Amino acid sequence: MKCAIRNFILFGFFSLTISCGGEDVVIKISDEEIVTGLMNNAPMDNARMHDLLQRVDPELEGELGSWIIAHEAVKAQIITDEKADRMRVIVPIVKVEDIEEGELLRLMQANFDSALDARYSIANGVIWSAFIHPLSVLSDEEFISGLAQAMTAAATFGSTYSSGALIFRGGDSGGQQRDYYESIIEKGLAI
């Protein structure tokens, strides 16, 4: 099946039409949304990141280049280096010495298929979830997604080991998550 993509600007709106198999999907975005929305193409810097973080947690701690935010029971640290053009979101999860046998293997499986842009890692005897990216090319949407994925990966440690986004079908996590789902069903049916 061939797909066609057409776009045009008409009366202050950008329109993108995707045609596949006789059906069209039309996406319209006003000029104002392009300028002020999540499609901001200006280089990411500490000031812009600070504004985005305040949307997530108005009570964030820290200063430009080093923040701590909280969402429910998960705390994340966001660190940037504008000169090196790098940023990272890191979330401490558990001491390595406190994990069960086989969990490191499970983390590596999740890094392949269910952690997506976030990653599980080890540093200083602690397991972390992390999102690491070049700073200036990071869009608002990519940053918020990476932040959410790192925090979700920490929150799902020990259960689904997922960043909350999609699952790559070529790995092992789909089966692991299916087992998790089925274990709940079995417990529910046993009552």
Look at residue 40 in the predicted model and tell me its pLDDT: 56
Tell me the mean pLDDT per 10 residues along the chain, length 191.
42 44 49 43 92 90 96 92 98 96 93 91 97 96 89 90 66 46 40 41
Look at residue 160 in the predicted model and tell me its pLDDT: 86
Q: What is the C-alpha to C-alpha distance for residues 152 and 139, in angstroms, rounded to an integer?
A: 20
3-state secondary structure 12-56: CEEEEEEEECCEEEEEEEEHHHHHHCCCCCCCCCHHHHHHHHHHH
Domain boundaries, the chain: 3-36, 46-190
| CATH assignment, 46-190 | 3.30.1460.10
Strands annotated E in 31-172: 61-63, 66-71, 74-81, 86-95, 119-123, 126-134
Look at residue 31 in the predicted model and tell me its pLDDT: 44
User: 3-state DSSP call for residue 116?
Assistant: coil
| Bridge partners of residue 190, in order along the sequence | none
Look at residue 141 in the predicted model and tell me its pLDDT: 85
Residue 25 dihedral angles phi and psi, to the nearest 5°: -115, 120
